[in-house]
Amino acid sequence: MDDALDRLASAIREADSTVALTGAGVSTASGIPDFRGEDGIWNAQFDPADFQVGRFRSDPAGFWEDRVKLHEAMFPGEIEPNAAHEALAELESQGWLDALITQNTDGLHGAAGSKELFELHGNAHRIVCMDCGRKIDAASVRERVREGESPPLCDCGGLLKPDVVLFGESLPEAIMAEAQRRARESDVFLAVGSSLTVEPAASLPKAGARDGLLAICNFDPTPHDDRTDVLVREDVTEVLPALVARLDA
């Protein structure tokens, strides 16, 4: 790992732009369960079909009741950013990281202090009104559902929806376009804790490594491993703080 991190740190020092992409593997150390692993949420507890956008439209009450249960499974206790989230925020604050793109909806990157943040799949802690577009904190809406208001409605009468990308929905065009631009213009693209199998985010490393260095840190193999310049199969909560230390030296 030391040689790989030395090479990565050297490349970041010389880069005009470094961009990172994170997936679920960054948040598991904070206690958030994996979604697609053998014991992940989609395999062990919930059916993804229950969270299709079509079901939200046709059965919003049933959708919301299941959504509250899903949220409780995703956030089983008090969840806080871990060392990997904090290291990425530190890389940005020191000027080494120009943008952070995440597939996660847990909000932990923002809580850790990341600013130039692109949440491709939205944020589970926000709710949006389908009519007026108002965005509110999700906790109060979930409590309303627990108390029997299902589906929950906005003050304007519009249907409230989790501010996340549901199955069957496209990613927000503006956010995805900006993420693709940042990836294309990066000299170093760092993919962390992602299987790199879920499109369209899975294609970002290809764009990011077109003329620059691609680094991947993930326990399991990814489709991009054979073309990566730096490959690390270690705990992200150890790798990223070690990278920060090298850049501080």
Model confidence at 65: pLDDT above 80: yes
Asked if 243 and 8 touch (Cβ cutoff 8 Å), the reply is yes
The whole-chain average pLDDT of the chain stands at 93
Q: Which of 85, 109, 121, 224 is catalytic?
A: 121
Tracing tokens 């943008």 back to the chain, one arrives at 99
| HSE-up of residue 136 (Cα within 13 Å, Cβ side) | 16
| Alpha-carbon distances, residue 237 vs 25, 90, 121 (angstroms) | 10, 13, 23
User: CA nearest 236: which of 201, 202, 183, 192?
Assistant: 192
How much of the chain exceeds pLDDT 90, in percent?
79
d(CA 219, CA 237): 12
User: pTM of the full predicted structure?
Assistant: 0.93
d(CA 145, CA 55): 17
Model confidence at 44: pLDDT above 70: no
Structural domains of the chain, with CATH? 1-31+81-121+170-249 (3.40.50.1220), 33-74+123-164 (3.30.1600.10)
d(CA 46, CA 33): 12
Asked if 120 and 127 touch (Cβ cutoff 8 Å), the reply is no
Convert the pLDDT of each residue in 14-24 to its tens digit. Answer: 999 999 999 99
Asked if 44 and 24 touch (Cβ cutoff 8 Å), the reply is no
pLDDT at 46: 87
Asked if 194 and 21 touch (Cβ cutoff 8 Å), the reply is yes
Residue 242: left if φ>0, alpha if ψ -120 to 50, beta else—which one? alpha
Binding residues for Zn(2+): 129, 132, 154, 156
How much of the chain exceeds pLDDT 70, in percent?
96
3-state helix, strand, coil in the chain (%, to 5): 45, 20, 40
Burial of 156 (0-12, 13-18, 19+ CB in 10 A): exposed
3-state secondary structure of 115: coil
pLDDT at 209: 63
Looking at mean pLDDT, say which of 42-46, 160-164, 201-205 comes out highest: 160-164
Model confidence at 57: pLDDT above 70: yes
Sign of CA dihedral 32, 106, 229, 10: negative
pLDDT at 73: 87
Model confidence at 211: pLDDT above 80: no
Model confidence at 36: pLDDT above 80: no
| HSE-up of residue 189 (Cα within 13 Å, Cβ side) | 27
Active-site residue flag, 85: no
Q: What H or E segment, with its residue span, contains residue 128?
A: strand 122-129
pLDDT at 101: 98
Model confidence at 45: pLDDT above 80: no
Convert the pLDDT of each residue in 84-122 to its tens digit. Answer: 999 999 999 999 999 999 999 999 999 999 999 999 999
Rg (CA), the chain: 19
